[in-house]
Structure 1
């Protein structure tokens, strides 16, 4: 028993370490699972082909449509210029004086519209750079401002968010993406408010200490030292599309991506988009929110889906599918609107669909591999001890769900991965406990979704590493503020929603 438990701990350490060092989770997850399987004495090949792969495939079968339409929509928003117009319009309305607020609002709005984190980062970075430079705000605060808008309230707290983190719980609790709207809005406002208070306080602290935007980063100091040591000057940077592969077909290296982003950020400033351009960029986002609500509350509930009870359709109900179906249809509506708004660019948009589809593959495989890893760990006999420990924390399913989701998301460094592992492992028991105790499933949904966006943002989180890379900053320079706004603040928001939900119910 002790050896098996040690195997799980070693496998988690291996998963975290290799993921942190940039290795693909697609390869790392089965490797880490192998360590746990061998040390527990379970059959190795059967664990891979009969447990890991079915779990991986099950996740992809359920959620790949969301990854696909989300990636396509994000790519279309980029190539059409609508994402940039929207962010630029907001920055023009508020101005550089509110650089941090503009950055948070713009990223949150794009995130709530379903645009992927990767696309949002590259869209916002040049705009945030210009705003921070004009307001003379130290660059070390930029990653935290972007992270607050992407990884917290807009992802899992705001009702109706089409992000995968707000959709996964619908499959397990029979809810929809608008679950517990009042609690979700209150949680979002709290997280946003506390995050902004921290960033505003830090801005004043750094200004008082004499820090400014022009202060060189550690990466720039290292580059300068290397250049002086070699007696050379750097070659001029060329602008490239960070979404495109390198000319040899290989993945673009971090250095090449950083060079591309820096060259974009130092390009001559462009006039802020006008209201017409900004509203045009906003329209696909609004379309997604509106269609999602219509499908959830009007269209799907009033259509006859009795045929879903047939075994060939999985013997299910429309209530179990509403979360995924509504978001998928809403994203398709957003995609269609992008085409309609600028029909003349259809050839470019068709190409963007192919690029977006390609961009969907790696994220869904990464998350699915983590799900497969979790399924293998859950299948081990020793996991009963872990499960009992989780359920021994409390007899309240809301508390158990929050703690287990937060913990597993933190260990895996993935909100969606930790959320899925938790619900696939404990979901049925949690739902039954909630039913027995009269706890609304909407509360379970909102708490579980919000719990995934806290400890997932520890230093080994791939999205955090990417964000720092894009901003040209190190963990030492910027992670303190990221930690506060993406870990501490969301946990405070989660506790508030839990306490209020358990005290007065959902609303």
Structure 2
């Protein structure tokens, strides 16, 4: 019965999300129904002590980044910079390579350290302009973003600064550059396979064109000619300021930052390690926003008030969706069915790498979060995975790469906060775009087991 409740809640949320209903409403409803069926008296306490604190924590940590990302993306569109970049790419690669261009943009931003949800806001205006000019269906944009940002640059390519590649380091004593050869091979597999699929879909949907843009959340226009160097500069500003601020904090601030204000009784204390990445990203985005406001002031003037209003609305909706999913995952993780699944995975037969991949993939799928599933799996089973790998003489670097890659497989199921945020930003529904997202999801999941097979066959690390 515990399994029925768990998967029933998951199916309930997926069904309503797929039909276009807001997860802000149905994520807490699905979580509370699951608790109600498990222990009726615990429903309201679970809402007050698990769901809402997690929602509030998500807002506390990420709303400024969501807001800065939305503002940056909107200003890139209003200034004409996004459309100018699209023009540059079309002239260099041709309209036949619009899909590859969109994927590579997302990959550059993600591997450069820009958080995934910020990449969504930043890449969409660019991709929309590129796809409109190239006559590529708009509904392929989310799959392009998933391939470029949510796959190989997130957890497969060695050295990725994304959290999914960082979490295993504290459990296995590795670095983010673990298993470089396996990571590069898997990256080529994912990129080549994903682009081939999306190009095939583009050809199949050629007659559809860009699609109806009457409800375009970000109308794409090129108000006036923009110099290519000026148009691409904001992308470099994000990465460079992000990296520079992070280095400055590392060199000048200790593990804890303490400060005081006259109106605060106790000194304020912040864990720098946990906040540094967010602070540096916010600094990079704000610097880029300032650059766009100055360099594109002529095109933005007169439309700034309305543009800011739209950006704030998009940021609020996106962060509310993601926060609700975060709360849902926390409640689900407290259910007996979830605990049974963790225990079953720990006891199942199979090699260390296969067991690690399956457990993290399943938990990431259930929670709808790569980092959430990875944290839960390694927090409860990490030592067991490490001991099993050591007994089989498997290097910790290989275990790291498999664990990291596995987190980014089924995390993009329909109820995923990342997928929902992406669809909201693109102004699309699951019915319109999820088929292609799921194809990339399957490719990413299969790639994990290809890497495992490759290691066992060749011993390459």
Above 0.5 in TM-score? yes
Hey, what does 1:362 align to over in structure 2? 317
Alignment of 1:40-189 (within 5 A): 40-41=38-39, 43-64=42-63, 66-110=65-109, 112=111, 114=114, 115-132=118-135, 144-145=143-144, 147-158=146-157, 169=167, 178=176, 180=178, 182=180, 184-189=183-188
Residues 110 and 380 (structure 1), Cα distance of their counterparts in 2 relative to 1, 3 Å cut? closer
CA distance in 2, matches of 1:66, 1:170: 24
What do the CA deviations read for 1:68-121 (whole angstroms, capped 9, x no partner)? 444444344334443333333222211124333233323434555634325523
Hey, what does 2:262 align to over in structure 1? none
Match of 1:214, SS state, is: helix
Cα offset for 1:213? Answer: 2.9
Cα offset for 1:388? Answer: 0.5
CA distance in 1, matches of 2:127, 2:327: 33
- Is contact 2:257-2:269 (8 Å) kept? yes
CA distance in 2, matches of 1:315, 1:119: 29
- Is contact 2:74-2:125 (8 Å) kept? no
- Is contact 1:24-1:366 (8 Å) kept? yes
Hey, what does 2:31 align to over in structure 1? 33
What do the CA deviations read for 1:459-485 (whole angstroms, capped 9, x no partner)? 566776865996989858x7655433x
Residues 448 and 184 (structure 1), Cα distance of their counterparts in 2 relative to 1, 3 Å cut? same
Cα offset for 1:214? Answer: 3.4
What do the CA deviations read for 1:416-458 (whole angstroms, capped 9, x no partner)? xx23442453342244345655688876665445334332444
Q: How many positions carry a matched residue from both structures?
A: 439
CA distance in 1, matches of 2:252, 2:425: 48
2:240 is equivalent to residue 287 of structure 1: yes
Uncovered stretches (5+) of structure 2, i.e. residues with no partner = 260-265
Residues 362 and 95 (structure 1), Cα distance of their counterparts in 2 relative to 1, 3 Å cut? same
Which residue of 305, 328, 332 maps to 2:254? 305
What do the CA deviations read for 1:363-422 (whole angstroms, capped 9, x no partner)? 33333322322322332345432221122246877645533443344445x4xxx23442
User: What is the alpha-carbon root mean square deviation over aligned residues?
Assistant: 4.7
CA distance in 2, matches of 1:481, 1:306: 43
What do the CA deviations read for 1:187-212 (whole angstroms, capped 9, x no partner)? 33321112223345566xx5xxxx67
CA distance in 1, matches of 2:396, 2:308: 36
Alignment of 1:323-338 (within 5 A): 324-326=275-277, 328-338=279-289
CA distance in 2, matches of 1:424, 1:482: 24
- Is contact 2:13-2:30 (8 Å) kept? yes
CA distance in 2, matches of 1:151, 1:89: 25
2:437 is equivalent to residue 488 of structure 1: no
TM-score, structure 2 as length reference: 0.73
Match of 1:261, SS state, is: coil
Higher mean alpha-carbon deviation, 419-428 vs 441-450, is at 441-450
Match of 2:207, SS state, is: coil
- Is contact 1:14-1:32 (8 Å) kept? yes
CA distance in 1, matches of 2:84, 2:348: 48
TM-score, structure 1 as length reference: 0.68
Residues 34 and 462 (structure 1), Cα distance of their counterparts in 2 relative to 1, 3 Å cut? closer
Residues 88 and 51 (structure 1), Cα distance of their counterparts in 2 relative to 1, 3 Å cut? same
Residues 449 and 389 (structure 1), Cα distance of their counterparts in 2 relative to 1, 3 Å cut? same
Hey, what does 2:370 align to over in structure 1? 419
- Is contact 1:82-1:282 (8 Å) kept? no
- Is contact 1:139-1:213 (8 Å) kept? no
Cα offset for 1:362? Answer: 3.3
CA distance in 2, matches of 1:144, 1:467: 10
Residues 195 and 501 (structure 1), Cα distance of their counterparts in 2 relative to 1, 3 Å cut? same
CA distance in 1, matches of 2:195, 2:61: 36
Residues 187 and 77 (structure 1), Cα distance of their counterparts in 2 relative to 1, 3 Å cut? farther
- Is contact 1:10-1:35 (8 Å) kept? no
- Is contact 1:403-1:451 (8 Å) kept? yes
Hey, what does 1:389 align to over in structure 2? 344
Alignment of 1:216-365 (within 5 A): 258-261=213-216, 264=219, 275-287=228-240, 290-291=243-244, 295=246, 299=248, 301-303=250-252, 305-307=254-256, 320-321=273-274, 324-326=275-277, 328-340=279-291, 343=294, 356=311, 359-365=314-320
CA distance in 2, matches of 1:70, 1:16: 27
CA distance in 2, matches of 1:397, 1:67: 38
Residues 50 and 338 (structure 1), Cα distance of their counterparts in 2 relative to 1, 3 Å cut? closer
Hey, what does 2:207 align to over in structure 1? 214
Cα offset for 1:302? Answer: 4.1
